[in-house]
Structure 1
Amino acid sequence: MKNSILKYTFVSATALFISSCSSDDSSLDTTKPEISLLTPKDDAHFHPGDVISLEAILKDNVELGNVKVEVHSAADGHTHQHKTADATVDFTFNKEYSIPAGSKEFVLKDNIQITTDNVTSGHYHLGLHLTDKAGNETESFIEIEIADHGHEH
């Protein structure tokens, strides 16, 4: 009697294990979302006080999740100068945008105001980080330049 119970338990557990480990799960989303950055263009030039007009088309085959936009200095991070009271500061921007639930396509539009307060002239990266509902991620970066009108080379 014990042997038949053990056999039945083993056969049932094996059948359950095999049926639950199906490798043909077609509902699994492994495709990365897509970013088409329309504006600004790579190597666009701006000045302190300007507005960066941002427009991007975001797409996913199943459902979009969220998008983050950032602007940060592209400098290598070191300097050979002493800071003074009127030292410039790198312009930074970080914002997460809401995408309506169920969206497969979303047009992101925003205006990013560059501050006028002692912004460091130089090259900056503008990046978009897009995640779909399944957690697949993609990034898109361009380089822009922010140059002070009064800056002499």
Structure 2
Amino acid sequence: MKNNLFYIILLPFIMLFSCNNDEDISPKPQISNFSVSDGHHHHGAHEGTIIIAGEEAIIDADLEGNKLSTVKLDIHWGEGHEHSITHDEDSIPWATNIIWQFGVNDGLTPEGVYPNNHQLHEHIDIPSMVEGLPIKEGNYHFLLHLWDQDGNETQSVLNVEIISNHEHE
């Protein structure tokens, strides 16, 4: 009898935790072909992406999801995985967040339009000076976030070298 009573008490808990949740969970949005290139197509002796401070960077990515909502580009100093915002006397690490919206006035798409696919192609200016000092040269993280209407998020990161000394070819 004690065993039966134990199972009778335990049964509701087993049913509670073993029920199949029929909620419709939408998949995370996807970012593919994410790239950062310079606006003048400079080619140096360095490997990888190099952007010149004071010039333009081009951000490209293929975005996919269920009713895309927001794209955010987070750029920050990332050399050696140190996300420091301190600076020395000669230069300062640069950081910025750029947000693009879907479905709003002056957004990536017209008001009320939330696409399932979008080819992001944006030009951004890379400053040469911040707070009166030249920006610190080195590796920066270009972190692209993507959200859909359901609040699902995904992200992709690229390491980009920003340099300031450059001779035009």
Q: Normalization by structure 1: what TM-score? A: 0.70
CA distance in 1: counterparts of 2:144 and 2:84, whole angstroms: 25
The number of residues matched between the two structures is 124
5+ long unaligned stretches in structure 1:
1-20
5+ long unaligned stretches in structure 2:
1-18, 38-46, 104-112
Q: 1:78 to 1:32 in 2, by over 3 A?
A: closer
Matched, 1:46 2:51: yes
CA distance in 2: counterparts of 1:64 and 1:83, whole angstroms: 40
What is aligned with 2:22?
24
Q: How far is the alpha carbon of 1:93 from its aligned partner?
A: 2.3
What is aligned with 1:69?
73
Matched, 1:55 2:67: no
What is aligned with 1:114?
126
What secondary structure sits across from 1:40 in the alignment? strand
Q: Normalization by structure 2: what TM-score? A: 0.64
CA distances 1:60-100 after superposition (whole Å, capped 9, x unpaired): 1x211211011110032569xx943xx21112221110113
What is aligned with 1:5?
none
Aligned 8 A contact 1:40 1:55 in 2: yes
CA distance in 1: counterparts of 2:84 and 2:118, whole angstroms: 38
Instruction: Mark the structure with the bigger radius of gyration.
Output: 1
Q: Which runs of 4+ in 1 moved over 4 A?
A: none
What value does the CA root-mean-square deviation take over the aligned residues?
Answer: 2.7
Matched, 1:33 2:29: yes
What is aligned with 1:105?
117
Q: How far is the alpha carbon of 1:37 from its aligned partner?
A: 3.4
